[in-house]
Amino acid sequence: MCGIVGYVGQQNVVDVVMGGLRRLEYRGYDSAGVAVVAGDEVLVRRRAGKLANLEKLLADKPLPAATFGMGHTRWATHGAPNDRNAHPHLDEAAKVAVVHNGIIENFAALRSHLEDNGVTLASDTDTEVVSHLLAEQFDGDLAEAMRAVCRKLEGAFTLVAVHADQPDVVVGARRNSPLVVGRGDGENFLGSDVSAFIAHTRHAVELGQDQVVELRADRVDVTTFDGQPAEVREYEVDWDASAAEKGGYDYFMLKEIYEQPKAVADTLLGRIDDEGLLQLDEMRLSDEDLRDVDKIVIIGCGTAFHSGLIAKYSIEHWTRIPVEVEVASEFRYRDPILGRRTLVIAISQSGETMDTLMAIRHAREQGSRVLAICNVNGSTIPRESDAVVYTYAGPEIAVASTKAFLTQIIAVHLVALYLAQVRGMKWSDEIARHVDDLAAMPEAVDRVLDTVGPVRALARELVDARAVLFLGRHVGFPVALEGALKLKELAYMHAEGFPAGELKHGPIALIEEGLPVVVVVPPLSRKVLHDKIVSNIQEIRARGARTIVIAEEGDDTVAPYADTLIPVPAVPTLLQPVVAIVPLQVFACELASAKGYDVDQPRNLAKSVTVE
């Protein structure tokens, strides 16, 4: 949940690190800090709050020019988000500086050990114990000291450290938490993700589990925690720095909402062979494996969980394989029934969500095969899965997920069709028809984006609403959940999504005069479902609700009951979420903006939740 940047080379390290932290700030923004080594001293500047506070401090109290060091943006776990708990943390002699992402689960025992040895700790963090342990272990070789300390730690951690007595060396380590190397010409970088160094190099080196990396300007050495040379994978980052800029939009979120047509189109690219059959080349599961599957469990968190709920409908409808959908943080604690014939599908934009990562580890221990659906090439979850289907949404910087969600829906449809194709449930002409439906989605999303003006006006009208409810049936129910989540995380409002049929079993008691209720109406072609939800709209309207109805263009039956009608293009039932969610993304974004909140970095949140 934190952002880390390390550097060694010829440039001024403060410039490189601060540039990287600006690109990583979406990973956490409770505090920020930098450490450099100048002469035989480690010098640190750190400040609570956003990066701008650190920038002000550096302007008032600049650090001297230096060529190696690191920086950190924090999402607080242990210790309040204040100056004293901000990273980097130092040992008592101020010779070692360390930054950390994750949770050291045995930090209390380590803290006692240090205090018993007379060490006085200056912060409430788990991280600080590492700086003292490194000082204790250091005998001229920081990488060796790091290996010794890592062998004592339990939990999830990415660590980056420098020592005043070992010039031009930056050392990193990782377990269950992301860290990637950027290889430059006469300079090298460390980052929580490639955004940290994308402005300088696109040559990246993936670090594996329980590895220590020793960075010099002209070399990178990677070992295991036991000091054995480690295998690493080098790769080219598949997007450039401009992709991680706002491109003239006020917010990354708005830019990413408007990138959705292209993101969907890019996710479909190259997935159909010359015979019109689907090819998922990263799908490293054999056709025989896939024919052997007798149950599917889909896991994810937040928005990824919602795209999993949508996946259930298409996979069951097209393959008749039973599908369970689980919140990743609950999955392994309910002692799930798994086996060789269970396919676990893990959906994750970042590929680093700890809840999801721990869930797939559990699934693999139980003998199940895991297919990841992920937006970040080379991230941990696809690396630890048997197969992966990448989405090609490009970097999603805003904490609130939008284009990743749409591309996840596309990807799960491709997986459902691929399973049906491999298992002989769909002939190639049927596949071709569904693929045509998918290929029409970018244009359909474009059309929604062209007509969201009234949605923006509605958001500003409702800026003082106390709560908003969201109703849907069938695949409209996960859309209701996702619309509610967007409003919670952006406008800090009470918002709740329900299956419309559940209304009369309790939630209808919430309906009162003027309460805004968003209803996602199924296509007219689903007459039974459609008629039932029209009845639901009448029920809430009769009790004073302010009805905001999303329905397909030309559906006149709902108009009399809609205080606000938001038409979306008519698309096949299973693809309706692709168009229905877009107005709700814009609605939440606009409402947050109307409230004056930080749209891209909402309070208390971070983009990638790399702690359990």
- Strands of the sheet with 170-175, listed across from one edge: 89-90, 96-104, 155-163, 170-175, 211-215, 220-224
Q: Which of 255, 426, 486, 607 is catalytic?
A: 607
178 part of the interface to ligand AGP, by CB under 6 A: no
Would residue 2 show up in a list of annotated catalytic residues for this protein? yes
Count interface residues toward ligand AGP (CB under 6 A).
15
301 part of the interface to ligand AGP, by CB under 6 A: yes
**Shorter beta-carbon distance to ligand AGP: residue 399 or 455:** 399
310 part of the interface to ligand AGP, by CB under 6 A: no
24 part of the interface to ligand AGP, by CB under 6 A: no
| Interior angle at CA 106, CA 103 and CA 111, nearest 5 | 105
Q: Which of 2, 150, 301, 589 is catalytic?
A: 2
The helix/strand/coil state of 97 is strand
What is the closest distance, in whole angstroms, from the C-beta atom of residue 581 to ligand AGP in the complex? 11
Indicate the DSSP class of residue 278.
B
Would residue 486 show up in a list of annotated catalytic residues for this protein? no
- Mind spelling out the 3-state secondary structure of 343-390? EEEEEECCCCCHHHHHHHHHHHHCCCEEEEEECCCCCHHHHCCCEEEE
342 part of the interface to ligand AGP, by CB under 6 A: no
Binding characters for ligand AGP, 387-406, by CB under 6 A (x = yes): ------------xxx-----
Sequence letter at residue 215: L
| Interior angle at CA 137, CA 133 and CA 138, nearest 5 | 115
Given 368, 421, 608, 610, the residue binding ligand AGP (CB under 6 A): 608
**Shorter beta-carbon distance to ligand AGP: residue 158 or 608:** 608
Please say whether the beta carbons of 32 and 54 come within 8 A: yes
**Residue (of 114, 121, 168) closest to 143 by Cα position:** 168
Given 302, 394, 478, 522, the residue binding ligand AGP (CB under 6 A): 302
Q: Tokens standing for 196?
A: 């940290």
**Residue (of 161, 547, 522) closest to 148 by Cα position:** 161
DSSP H/E element including 214: strand 211-215
353 part of the interface to ligand AGP, by CB under 6 A: yes
DSSP H/E element including 396: none
**Shorter beta-carbon distance to ligand AGP: residue 206 or 600:** 600
**Shorter beta-carbon distance to ligand AGP: residue 99 or 346:** 346
Region near ligand AGP per CB under 6 A, out of 67-75, 114-122, 283-291, 301-309: 301-309
DSSP H helices in 466-521: 476-491
**Shorter beta-carbon distance to ligand AGP: residue 399 or 562:** 399
Subset of 442-501 contacting ligand AGP (CB under 6 A)? 489
379 part of the interface to ligand AGP, by CB under 6 A: no
Region near ligand AGP per CB under 6 A, out of 123-131, 298-306, 332-340, 554-562: 298-306
Give the C-alpha separation, 161 to 339, whole Å: 42
What is the closest distance, in whole angstroms, from the C-beta atom of residue 364 to ligand AGP in the complex? 18
Please say whether the beta carbons of 380 and 346 come within 8 A: no
Region near ligand AGP per CB under 6 A, out of 27-35, 113-121, 248-256, 299-307: 299-307
Given 223, 349, 380, 536, the residue binding ligand AGP (CB under 6 A): 349
Region near ligand AGP per CB under 6 A, out of 92-100, 233-241, 297-305, 558-566: 297-305
Please say whether the beta carbons of 499 and 472 come within 8 A: yes
> Please, what's the b/e burial string for 94-117 (b: 16 or more CB within 10 A of its CB; e: otherwise)?
ebbbbbbbbbbeebeebbebbeee
Going by C-beta distance under 8 Å and a sequence separation of 6 or more, which residues neighbour residue 599?
250, 251, 253, 254, 398, 400, 490, 589, 592, 593
Give the C-alpha separation, 67 to 338, whole Å: 51
356 part of the interface to ligand AGP, by CB under 6 A: yes
What is the closest distance, in whole angstroms, from the C-beta atom of residue 349 to ligand AGP in the complex? 3
**Shorter beta-carbon distance to ligand AGP: residue 193 or 214:** 193
**Shorter beta-carbon distance to ligand AGP: residue 195 or 350:** 350
172 part of the interface to ligand AGP, by CB under 6 A: no
**Shorter beta-carbon distance to ligand AGP: residue 445 or 609:** 609
What is the closest distance, in whole angstroms, from the C-beta atom of residue 117 to ligand AGP in the complex? 39
Please say whether the beta carbons of 608 and 3 come within 8 A: no
303 part of the interface to ligand AGP, by CB under 6 A: yes
344 part of the interface to ligand AGP, by CB under 6 A: no
The residues that touch ligand AGP, with contacts defined as CB under 6 A, are: 301-304, 348-350, 353, 356, 399-401, 489, 608-609
Catalytic residues: 2, 607
